Amino acid sequence: MYIIFLGPPGSGKGTHAQRVCDAMGIPRLSTGDMLREQIKQATPLGLEAKADIDAGRLVPDSLVIRMLRERLAQPDCANGCIFDGFPRTEAQAEELDTIVGIDVVVNLDISDEAIAERMKGRRVCPACNASYHTERLGDKTDCAACGTELILRKDDAPETVLARLAVYHAQTQPLIAYYTKKGLLRSVSTDGEVEAVAARVREALR
């Protein structure tokens, strides 16, 4: 199965994509995680992407597509994978259609107000990329999965979140129509607790 998780920043794509990956035994391809890794390693690609990411803009299609093609060519993607944060533009979606056949697109539905609220409390693990919310962390400051000290992502600053939302509406939201036309879109409401949303995601993938 090749599955896309679509939705604005902060909609829970990463969290729900990872759960489905664990259940299905297929890898999660997060272009955001891949880009942050390239930055950490100070590769030429990472250096090229850094300014755009920090400002909340998309990095150029050509760069993301090159990176994704390389990852998809690895043997663990042969039987399927979950795309998290890709495609984000119509050009990326068209390119992806020439590489694999997409089976289903899960669209996580959330209001801009709810996003702003979630991003304010988001903390992430710089080592394993797990994501948390301060409301559920209590006084814990380290990652439950690997013990690393959690951080606030630079691009989760409120001004940058606004920029990312504007980018989402202008460049990524049109993909809802793109995949609806192909009959692949299943929209899921993100209202309520994580478990309730996870159950709806499972239902959408049946």
Q: Which residues bind ligand ADP (CB under 6 A)?
A: 9-10, 13, 31-32, 35, 52-53, 56-59, 64, 85-86, 88, 92, 155, 164
186 is catalytic: no
> φ, ψ for residue 20 (rounded to 5)?
-65, -40
202 is catalytic: no
Considering the complex, what minimum distance in angstroms separates the CB of residue 199 from ligand ADP?
Answer: 22
Taking the CA atoms of 63, 64, 69 and 70 in sequence, report the sign of the dihedral they define.
Answer: positive
Taking the CA atoms of 63, 107, 178 and 97 in sequence, report the sign of the dihedral they define.
Answer: positive
CB nearer to ligand ADP: give 56 or 185: 56
Considering the complex, what minimum distance in angstroms separates the CB of residue 170 from ligand ADP?
Answer: 13
Across-strand partners of 189?
109
CB nearer to ligand ADP: give 52 or 90: 52
200 is catalytic: no
Taking the CA atoms of 170, 103, 76 and 203 in sequence, report the sign of the dihedral they define.
Answer: positive
Q: How remote is the C-alpha of 89 from its chain's centroid? A: 13
153 is catalytic: yes
CB nearer to ligand ADP: give 10 or 188: 10
Considering the complex, what minimum distance in angstroms separates the CB of residue 180 from ligand ADP?
Answer: 20
Catalytic residue among 50, 122, 186, 202: 122
Cα-only R_g, the chain: 16
Catalytic residue among 28, 123, 164, 200: 164
88 is catalytic: yes
> φ, ψ for residue 83 (rounded to 5)?
-95, 120
CB nearer to ligand ADP: give 92 or 107: 92
CA distances 161 to 54, 107, 151, 187, Å, are: 10, 20, 16, 23
Catalytic positions, please? 13, 88, 122, 153, 164
